[in-house]
Structure 1
């Protein structure tokens, strides 16, 4: 039953996108609206740009109607592991 719901929900979501430096502002516009990210707002754009430019992490996001609605990133990547960080979903899309 759960798998059927996941499949149904995912079919209505736009594609998952791998972020580039050009996507930083749109992604940070989402995280700016989330209370848990409040303490990191000032440096979030700089940090995300640096991570994407150096390839030390990746960020993926989903857009709906030209708005980023969810995002997740990796950090401290190496050949064996990575930390998953910066997971955020727009309030209107949480259940």
Structure 2
């Protein structure tokens, strides 16, 4: 139940960022992804086209703006591939 609300909020956030979020992939992992009722934070990994895009998103995303604290990991697609981040974190894409 909490997962659905968080995913909706994160998708709204991504859409509100417009071109800043263009070409990114947003992945949810951790307790909210597992829909645990006692989740204490949101674990979000955003895969970006390049370092500049990651830096820009880091500047504009407020980690305290959601219902739960946001733990944000920003990686380029290249970095994520090198460390197999999606598989390691068992994340699921929520946007786009």
TM-score, normalised relative to structure 2: 0.28
Structure with the larger RCO, 1 or 2 (CA within 8 Å, 6+ apart):
2
Structure with bigger gyration radius: 1
TM-score scaled by structure 1?
0.28
